[in-house]
Structure formats: C-alpha cells, structure tokens
Structure 1
Amino acid sequence: MHWHKQLIYAVLCGDLREHDVENSSTMFTRSNRIAVLISSSVLFSFTILQFSQSNISYENDSSFTSVFQEEPVEIRRTIREDLNQNIVTIDRDLFEEMAFHLRDAPYDGVGNYTRFMTALLGLKELTDVEPLVPGTGPVINDVSSFEYPFAIAPCREKLTNHRSLFIAVISAPRNFERRATIRRTWPNHLKNQTNSNKPLDIVGFSFVVGLTKDDVIHQKLMEENERYRDMLQVNMHDKYRNLSLKVTGLLNWVHHYCPQVDFVLKVDDDVYVNVHNLATVLHSHPPSERSVYGRKCGGDTISERIPRNDSKWIFTYESWPWRNIPQYYQGAGIVIAGSAVRPLLAAIQTTPYFIWDDMYLIGLCAVKARLRIRTSESIFVDWPKNYADPCFVRNAVTWTLRSSDQMNSSHFVTHNLYRNSTASRCVVRTYDVGPNVTLVNQLESQINETAIASEFPFGFMEQN
C-alpha cells in the first residue's frame, strides 16, 4: 500500500503508536509531500482500537484546510486521565473525505478492515470484558453475552478413542420441513456407521435457530423443541443481517458447553452429509491442530461478480470501500477443530461484525486468529447437478440440495451404496487407447468400497 493510504488509515483510525509520541505532539515526516485535511466542523468520535496505554483525544484547536508542505505536520495530542475508554475525536467531513480515497483500493487485510469499520460504526472498546486470548486486540464485541431460551444438554464426555464430533445445523425458525427431513435421513447413519474402522463419537447434535416475531411460528417451534429436544435457540432476531451474530452465539455455546470436542461440523439445513466420508476425513487430521476445513471461494473483484447495489450482499462503497473481497469458505458446510473455537471467538471479540457471515467467519476472523485454513474441493459441493449418483456420493462429503425430494434421493443412494453393494455401485469408465491413439475398447469397473483419506486431499488457503 502506498504511503498516502497508510497516512489515511493513520489519521482516519487514530493509528498513532505510543512510541511515536514525544511530549505533547506527534510528528508525521515524509520525504514526499503530504496532505493533512483538518477542518473545524462538527466533531465525530470513535474508539482507538490499538496501542494506547493512555486515553487520547485529538483536539480541534487549529483549523487547517488542505495543507501541502514539505515540513513535518504536527497533530496536537492531549491526555485525558479521567476517561475510562480510548477516544479519538476528528471531523466527520474529514472521515468521509479520507474514506472516499479508499474507494477501489485493493483490500489490504483484516487489520485495516477493523480500523475502517471501527471508525465507520463508532465502536468503543468494552473495557469491562476480558479478552479470551490476550494480545488479540481491544474487545468490541461481547461474545459471552448470548442467552439461549431453549438449548440442548451440554455435550457428553467422550467415551472412546475415536474422533468426537458436535454437529450444528443452522436453520431458520420457519424451516420445519427441512428439519423433519434431516431427522429422517443422514443423522441415522451417525447411529450405525458402516465404515466401522473409523467411526465418529457424536457428543452432541443440534438445530440452531434464532428468535421469531411470528407468534404462530414461535408456538410451533416451542412444540417442536419439546418433542425432539434437539434445538439450540440464540437470543437474536433470526434474519439474514444477523447471521454473523447467530454463528457467534453457536461458537460461544460450544466454548462453554462442549469444550473438549475434537471437531465441530457446521452445516445449513439444506445440506446432506455423507457421514462415512466425513469420518474418513476427520480421522486423517489431528484435532489438536487449530484448523478449519472447507471449500475455498471469494477473492473476487466486486464489480465483476458482486454488484455494488445488491441489497442482499451489501457491498456498498460506504460499508466496503475496497475493490475486492478476501478469500473465504462456502459456509454451508465447514468443519472447525475444537482447538480452534476459542481463538476464533477471540478474533470475533476484536473484529467488527460484517453482514456476510461466511466471509466474516473465515475470511476475516479465522485469518486474524491465524488458524490453518485447509481447503478441499470434495468437502463441500454447492448445488451439484448429478447428486443422486453413486460415484458422486462416494467422492463427496457434504452438498447442498434444493428440496426435500433431493435430500431423500441423496439418502437413498448413500444408504444403498454403503449397505447394499449389489443395488448401488460406482461404475468407473476407462478407455484403452491403441498405439495410433485410436479408441480400441471401453472398460468398466465397479467400486463399492468406501473412499480412503488420500482421496480427499487438502491444500491451504492464502491468508489475506
């Protein structure tokens, strides 16, 4: 990033380090000419998120218009010992002017995202909340404040030497049919896993929902929970804009009530899970490694694939000035190592929420937590064209479905593939080519054994 963008972040976000301060002022020195925009209109306050041992405020005791000069520019600084939070005060017009110059700049990391969003939203440090991991940064989100109007029992203790797993199915309150279909299908394979050499120890299973304002849906939801006792309700209004809060509420519950689990599977309620391949994958990775597992996406230039005026994704210049977005996971099916839950929550504590929960959780918070971000094309497949096919089922772990009929069809094929080898097999076609590259013969081979770990290779996602 060029020096002028560094200066924008420094002035815009109060990024003045204690060791840069001498006596009562800070000096910016550059070999090039620099511009400092300071005016005297209505003041706008926001929190300094870094560095300050003392409480700092920038006084508007001088009025500078656009100043261009070779000499160092002095920004006066005063210490307020009576404040209990870190505040920097600048001009609102200055904020908007400097934010304008970030438009269409390359995205330059979660640190500058945090600085920008903190200034934009006027966030303040929560000095009465202890950070989960010291050194992650000042706390701006109280991740432990969630309540659960109804919840499942805490995870039971691990009974075997097998991999333990907590399964969280993200669902909306009104999705009664989807939850009913899931209860009839792939969770049944968890109770009778056919790849018995490497089974999973399921220590907890839950549908995760939020609050609803619809009294009829609320009553039906209460009755459903009373019947099945497999629901975790987070005390936030269940809508698209709050999905990052919902996932945070889930992770907070896992942190408190399932702390010893090896892995957490987070899937949406329109996803089918091949339990047999999931077990194979999880047994090939150590739970002590602070990792997340999923399918990579993102990194796009906004103007190419994500319109600025799309009301669902909210990539306006005001909320996301950069021209591209970070890489992240397709969030409908991801795995989180139990050892990664606490550092991930610590990163959420110090990172302003973003409306797009998939990008927020992995592209921002997992990167800030310095987790190992492992990627595979097989762990999640989005809207496959030929899902009801033995070869597809054999080579995939989770996949999205468009209807209950497709969920049932996937379950039928999966069930037969692993339990009735004569009824369902993966037919692999190969070709025997002669010396003159002429097609000689088509050969067919049938595969009905379970996939092995080497068939699910994982790479690493570049962290940006």
Structure 2
Amino acid sequence: MVGRGLWISSDPGLAKLLIEEARERGDLIQGRFLDTYSNLTLKTLSLLGWARRFCPQAHFMAKVDDDVLFNPSSLLHFLNRSRNPYEQGDLYLGRVHLHVAPDRDPDGKHYLPSGAYPPSVFPDYCSGTAYVLSRSALLKISLAASASPLSTPLPPEDVFVGLCARTAGVLPSHCPLFSGGPGVPYGRCCYQAMVSIHHVPPREMLHYWADVHISRPCSWLGIRASLGLCKVRAMLGTALGLEQGL
C-alpha cells in the first residue's frame, strides 16, 4: 500500500519501477493521500476500504508493516487450531497493547493533545506492526472508521483502528506469536512458529525465510524450547538497551 508524494514525483525512475512491479506482480495499491509517517492512519483507512470493496471472498485480512517478517503458514496453523477458519464471527488478532496512555509531549513522535483525544488511556488495541481481521470485523471497523471524525493530529494508526474496533463492538485478541515491539533474536525453530517478527531488514528477511522454510520442520519440543529462549533473549536485549540508554 503506497500513497502519493514527492518521493515519487521527484524520482521518475522509482515511479517507473512501481508501475512495472504493479504490472508484473499485481501487488501494489496506491491511495489518494500524501505518503508520510503522519498519514499512516489514512494509509490504513485506504487499505481497509480497498479490502472491503475488492476482497469479498477473503475470510481474513492481514495488515503487515514492511519491516515485519510475516509467516502465513504459522498464522493458518494457529487459526486452524484455535477456531474454524470459515466460521462467522469477529476476529481482531495480534499483539494487544493494554492501558496505553496518549503521548502528551509536543516533541514526541506520537504527540496527541488532549483536545484531539481527551481520555487518559487508549482502549486496548493490536500493535500496528501486524494484525489480522476477519471479514466481519473488517466490515465493522471500516464502517466505524468512515463515520468517525478525523482529529488533527490523527491518532497513531493502530490506536485509531482500536478506537474504531471499540466503537464497532469488536474486541482485540492477544496472540503471543505476534511480536509488536522489541526485536526477537533469530532462532530457526522460534521463527518457524512465530506469525510476525518486527524490526527485520530486507536482506535478513530473505535469509531467514529461506532458512526457516527450506529446513526440516522443528519438533514440538524444539519449538517450545526455542520460543522460550527467544523470549528471554528479547527481554534481556530490551533491558540492556534501556540500561545503555540511561
């Protein structure tokens, strides 16, 4: 999903590459918004509207950031174990953030003044790095978004989706196989089981994807042990990072 902006108009070569990619792969959607970080909410609204209109046959939609390694087979395995993939019902699945307070710092990256959002905490919402919506949840959230007044500045896109989900009566569901914050150190068995891993550069995505999918599947015990080790290493990495920052 891309928008419009100077980065396209000022680089004819890039614009040509985008057209060629769309023709060859059919995997690009361009919306009518300026493609900037502050407009990520508009980008997501465009994506939801497009999926609502053009994907009536899809039972689920996954929204994934471009710095996330996404594992569809692990997601399908999780859905098959946890529910009937074709049953009706709302699903808003990802890494759920609880009781997050708005950023009131004018210099903050996600600054949101009280005039734009008065409450002291956001409703629970799924991390925007990657989340999954069932068809019914997509319809309800998209319709709630289209009827919602857009404040200035806009809330972060994942927060806005969470606000629309609450308005639509759709509750977020937490899944530990989604990573939504700190990077998860590489482990082949761990990455086989994870649905999404944040902060993965493109070159490493190619390497990890090949290693995970060409190698033989890990055993259940190997996956459990690797997931636990990856979690501990991620927590230690976060703690050390905070200490170094102090």
TM tier, shorter chain?
Answer: 0.7 to 0.9
Residue 259 of structure 1: how far off its partner (Å): 1.3
Relative to structure 1, the CA distance from residue 275 to residue 301 in structure 2 (aligned partners, 3 Å threshold; closer, same or farther) is closer
CA–CA distance in structure 2, aligned partners of residues 251 and 333 of structure 1? 14
8 Å contact kept, 1:244–1:360 = yes
- 1:355 aligns to what? 155
1:395 and 2:193 are equivalent in the alignment: yes
User: Where is the strand percentage greater, Structure 1 or Structure 2?
Assistant: 1
Which deviations, in whole Å up to 9, do the C-alpha atoms of 1:52-78 show, x marking residues without a partner?
xxxxxxxxxxxxxxxxxxxxxxxxxxx
- 1:224 aligns to what? 21
Alignment partner of 2:173 out of 374, 388, 392: 374
CA–CA distance in structure 1, aligned partners of residues 99 and 140 of structure 2? 24
Residue 270 of structure 1: how far off its partner (Å): 1.2
1:247 and 2:58 are equivalent in the alignment: no
AA in 2 matched with 1:210: G
- 2:236 aligns to what? none
AA in 1 matched with 2:209: H
Alignment partner of 2:95 out of 292, 295, 303: 295
Alignment partner of 1:309 out of 96, 103, 106: 106
Question: Secondary structure of 2:120's match?
Answer: coil
Relative to structure 1, the CA distance from residue 376 to residue 385 in structure 2 (aligned partners, 3 Å threshold; closer, same or farther) is closer
CA–CA distance in structure 2, aligned partners of residues 426 and 291 of structure 1? 29
1:328 and 2:125 are equivalent in the alignment: yes
Aligned pairs (5 A) from 1:47-126: none
- 1:259 aligns to what? 56
- 1:365 aligns to what? 164
Residue 402 of structure 1: how far off its partner (Å): 3.4
Which ranges of structure 2 fall in alignment gaps of 5 or more residues?
Answer: 228-246
8 Å contact kept, 1:389–1:413 = no
Which deviations, in whole Å up to 9, do the C-alpha atoms of 1:286-321 show, x marking residues without a partner?
44112211111141344xxx4522342122233333
Q: Rg bigger for which structure?
A: 1
Which deviations, in whole Å up to 9, do the C-alpha atoms of 1:26-49 show, x marking residues without a partner?
xxxxxxxxxxxxxxxxxxxxxxxx
Residue 447 of structure 1: how far off its partner (Å): 6.2
After the TM superposition, list the runs of 4 or more consecutive aligned residues in structure 1 that deviate by more than 4 angstroms. 425-428
How many residues were matched structurally? 215
AA in 2 matched with 1:226: R
Relative to structure 1, the CA distance from residue 407 to residue 401 in structure 2 (aligned partners, 3 Å threshold; closer, same or farther) is farther
8 Å contact kept, 1:394–1:426 = no
- 2:77 aligns to what? 280
CA–CA distance in structure 1, aligned partners of residues 174 and 36 of structure 2? 28
Residue 401 of structure 1: how far off its partner (Å): 2.9
Aligned pairs (5 A) from 1:17-56: none
8 Å contact kept, 1:212–1:218 = no
CA–CA distance in structure 2, aligned partners of residues 315 and 291 of structure 1? 28
Question: Secondary structure of 2:197's match?
Answer: strand
Aligned pairs (5 A) from 1:143-222: 208-214=1-7, 215=9, 216=11, 217-222=14-19
Of structures 1 and 2, the one with the larger relative CO (CA 8 A, separation 6+) is 2
CA–CA distance in structure 1, aligned partners of residues 171 and 37 of structure 2? 28
Which ranges of structure 1 fall in alignment gaps of 5 or more residues?
Answer: 1-207, 429-445, 452-464
TM-score w.r.t. length of structure 1: 0.43
AA in 1 matched with 2:193: N
Residue 211 of structure 1: how far off its partner (Å): 1.1
Relative to structure 1, the CA distance from residue 230 to residue 427 in structure 2 (aligned partners, 3 Å threshold; closer, same or farther) is closer
Residue 361 of structure 1: how far off its partner (Å): 0.4
CA–CA distance in structure 2, aligned partners of residues 355 and 227 of structure 1? 35
CA RMSD of aligned residues (A): 2.6
1:412 and 2:210 are equivalent in the alignment: yes
CA–CA distance in structure 2, aligned partners of residues 356 and 390 of structure 1? 32
8 Å contact kept, 1:390–1:426 = no
8 Å contact kept, 1:262–1:337 = yes
Which deviations, in whole Å up to 9, do the C-alpha atoms of 1:342-395 show, x marking residues without a partner?
211221122223331100002x00111111421112133434331x21231233
8 Å contact kept, 1:308–1:317 = no
Relative to structure 1, the CA distance from residue 400 to residue 285 in structure 2 (aligned partners, 3 Å threshold; closer, same or farther) is same
Which deviations, in whole Å up to 9, do the C-alpha atoms of 1:98-132 show, x marking residues without a partner?
xxxxxxxxxxxxxxxxxxxxxxxxxxxxxxxxxxx
